[in-house]
Amino acid sequence: MPGLDAIPLAASATSNLLAAREQMAFTLGFHIVLSCLGVALPATILVANYIGLKKDDRDAIELAQRWSKAMAVTFAVGAVTGTVLSFEFGLLWPHFMERFGAAFGIAFGIEGLFFFLEAIFLAIYIYGWKRLPPWAHFWSGVPMFVTGIGGAFSVVSANAWMNQPQGFVLDAAGKVTEVEPLKVIFNPATPYEVPHMILAAYMVTGFLVASIYAVGMLKGRRDRLHRLGLLIPLTIACIATPIQLLVGDTAAREVASHQPAKFAAMECIQETGGHQTEYIGGICTADGVKLAIPIPDLDSLLVGFSPGTKVTGLNDIPNDERPPVNTLLHLAFDAMVGIGSALLLLGLWLLYSWWKKRDIPQTPWFLKAVSVSGIGAILALWSGWIVTEVGRQPWIVYHYMKTSEAVTDANGIWGAFIFTLLLYAALGTIAILVLRRMSKRWREGGEGTAEEEPSPYSPEVRV
């Protein structure tokens, strides 16, 4: 989290600050997708499992089995990348951990408990396919859903604390004392950051899983299993999308109120005042936004529901406290909102077709749109984290400690970054190859399918 400033202008090409930021950005960008799957796949699996039990639907049961096995792979890779991230806090940002670890570490300690509990119940759920009665097996998976939400809450509350820190006292030496755990966890940014991330996890997971089945259907696999495999995750993602847009709108107003420098940078607002123009796209300069589509008064209207609402501009922010690369921030924010809006339209398309025909749209254009929605959701996720993290710069803990003060003094950071790149490339390649092999085996009806390994849900063994 401390380093998603992907293009830091203040650091030289040989500095530890640049290397640490780039490594943190890369590892977080990789891990966050796996984290989304860990948060939202349990619910997706349980929905398919529930449909299978209530309607005696063998295809839904088969999907739940396949998705749980795929989750085991992504969870294992996520465990490795999450461990690397945990070590990076101490190795790359030791001065931050030394000074604020007593407060920052609380939520991460709780997240560790949720992580291990989710791993335990995932193992029970997978192991129980052939060993537990149907409904007992279903309920054994519910703790996966609960712990996934709990883990997301914990780790995002830690990031929220970095944006709006509270619940501690600094002694004369500048170290944290008198930590109040509840105030740290339930800081003012928690109410909007946590639901924003959890909803993003459901969108990424839903659209990503649905996109896989959409590609299969475009290749001619129009059987019921593929249609159901598209419909279940896509429905979940489409339900989450409009809620996410409402939460994001609330979050933007909170940022404008509590982190005015971030808001001014991401909206390219140079001068404080009312009647602020909203710019779609463009390049931010000191003389205004170039090559953009302007919408007069809209920025003020969105912030305070009035065209005359006063919005802080960069002219009221000291030069050394302004976020870098305003154009990157602005375009990332536009990308997040734009992709989210496009996904909302995709959901409305599905809703209209279901209302009219009780079926997904039959046009190939719908399947093509779904097939790219997973990548779109991931891009929106990355864009949101760029806004959150780059927008907080130059602070690692807002108004308490700058990122340049937190970075390690040790040598060899660039070497560690290169090693991490190679490690993650290997992990990603292995994960993709394993998942593709599993998918091929399922399509061919080989080992691991319901035909060869009947579950206890089969009529002859149902309890």
Q: What is the 3-state secondary structure (H, E, C) of 265-316?
A: HHCCCCCCECCCCEEECCEEECCEEECCEEECCHHHHHHHCCCCCCECCHHH
Residue 16 has pLDDT above 70, yes or no: yes
- 3-class SS at 395? strand
Alpha-carbon dihedral angle through residues 435, 436, 437, 441, given to the nearest 10 degrees: 100
Q: Does 262 score more than 50 pLDDT?
A: yes
Distances in Å between the alpha carbon of 257 and those of 64, 155, 312, 321, 449? Answer: 44, 23, 9, 16, 54
Give the residue among 42, 40, 38, 69 at the shortest CA–CA distance from 455.
Answer: 69
Handedness of CA 116, 122, 125, 128 (dihedral sign): negative
Evaluate if residue 242 carries a pLDDT over 90: yes
Helix (H, G, I), strand (E, B) or coil at 61: helix
The one-character DSSP state at 176 is E
pLDDT at 200: 94
Average pLDDT over residues 425-436: 88
* pLDDT, position 453: 57
Task: Give the chain's count of helices (H) and strands (E).
Answer: 13, 8
- Give per-residue pLDDT as tens, 291-306: 888 888 888 888 888 8
CA dist., res. 269 & res. 288, Å (int): 8
Q: Which pLDDT does position 369 carry in this prediction?
A: 93
| Per-residue pLDDT band at 214 (split at 50, 70, 90) | very high
What pLDDT is recorded for position 459? 55
Task: Give the model's pLDDT for residue 458.
Answer: 56
What is the structure's pLDDT at 454? Answer: 57
364-379: pLDDT as tens digits: 899 999 999 999 999 9
401-402 and 395-397 strand pairing? antiparallel
* pLDDT tens per residue across span 138-191: 999 999 999 999 989 998 998 899 999 988 888 877 788 888 889 989 999 999
pLDDT band at 103 (very low <50, low <70, confident <90, very high): confident
pLDDT at residue number 343: 95
Task: Write the pLDDT tens digit of every residue in 245-259.
Answer: 999 888 888 888 888
Residue 396: its H or E element: strand 395-397
